[in-house]
Amino acid sequence: MSLAGRAMAALGLAAVLGAGAVACRGDNELSGSVSELFPVTDVSRVEIRRNPEALQVSYFRNNGLDVDLVARLTVDTEGVDLKPGTKVQLGGTTPSGRDRASVVHVAAGEPARVFTQVERGDLVLDEGGNAGEATRGDFSLSFKKGDGYGAGRSMEGTFNSLALDAGFGPDLGDVVVDEPAP
């Protein structure tokens, strides 16, 4: 086989192996250098919530009699058309000046920890994204360097769950009935 033929074969094999690695990506997993702060493996369930203002992905882990909130990523969707295939930048701010993304960690017996600002990263939905839809996607981000919790670290995740309605619900004092009044 010629040198050019071997090079083409190697490129083809690399493409197949790369596609296989992407296809083997598991659902509902977390990783990254934040694992130096707390365990990110053994996620027992993922909850996705959606309303007109945000998408929220929460990773939970059973911890004896408690359930830890390993990480909750909240993405402010102001000015973003959140649909499958769209890459949402997680760093920076929204048009009105709020952080585009925020992350918290709450483990049993510990105070809630809010991560420092997201420096850069992105989130992509493969499907869904609205309340009531099967929603699958992934994200990757890094936190700003400095003194805050998680500073200079990274976090990556995959998610696959039914997106629940995170609507604001009725106002205090509203009467909620299942049947229309006669």
Beta carbons within 10 angstroms of residue 111's beta carbon: 8
- For residue 149, what are the contacts with CB-CB under 8 A and spacing of at least 6? 37, 105, 113, 114, 115, 116
Contact 78, 98 (CB under 8 A): yes
Q: Give the model confidence (pLDDT) of 99-142 as tens digits.
A: 999 999 999 999 999 999 999 999 999 999 999 999 999 999 99
Containing H/E element for 63? strand 54-63
Contact 140, 27 (CB under 8 A): no
CA distance 52 to 130: 9
- Read off the pLDDT of each residue in 29-49 and give the average, rounded to a whole number: 95
Residue 17 has pLDDT above 80, yes or no: no
pLDDT for 181: 54
When pLDDT is cut at 50, 70 and 90, the band that residue 18 belongs to is very low
List the structure tokens of 121: 């990263």
CA distance 166 to 141: 24
Sign of CA dihedral 3, 4, 6, 10: positive
Bridge-based pairing state of the strands 87-89 and 45-51: unpaired
pLDDT for 14: 40
When pLDDT is cut at 50, 70 and 90, the band that residue 167 belongs to is confident
Helix or strand or coil: residue 75?
strand
